[in-house]
Amino acid sequence: MTELLVDCAAVAAGVVQRVFRLPVLPRVVPAAVAALELERELRRPLMRRIGPIQTDLLLSPAPPSTDCAPAAACPPSTP
């Protein structure tokens, strides 16, 4: 269910970007999000501060949103 909501939010972000002709995200933003999601050393301070479950909830919508923002078509997230 969470993946569906995140995909819907990513599609909505892509549509808003296209309609309002917002600037494209720099390429470093998706790379930074991927590094934050995959590298435990980068996540550890956030996990200590807000907890592991909240960290996962905070970071779960980030990859689909950053994948969708610079592209014309939004790829679906994979479980």
* pLDDT tens sequence across 53-62: 888 888 777 7
Alpha-carbon distance of 37 to 34, in angstroms, equals 5
Q: What is the mean pLDDT of residues 55-71?
A: 69
pLDDT of residue 70: 52
pLDDT of residue 12: 84
pLDDT of residue 72: 46
* pLDDT tens sequence across 11-38: 887 788 888 887 877 878 778 888 888 8
- Would you list the domain boundaries of the chain? 2-68
Residues 6+ apart with CB under 8 A from 72: 14, 18
pLDDT of residue 49: 93
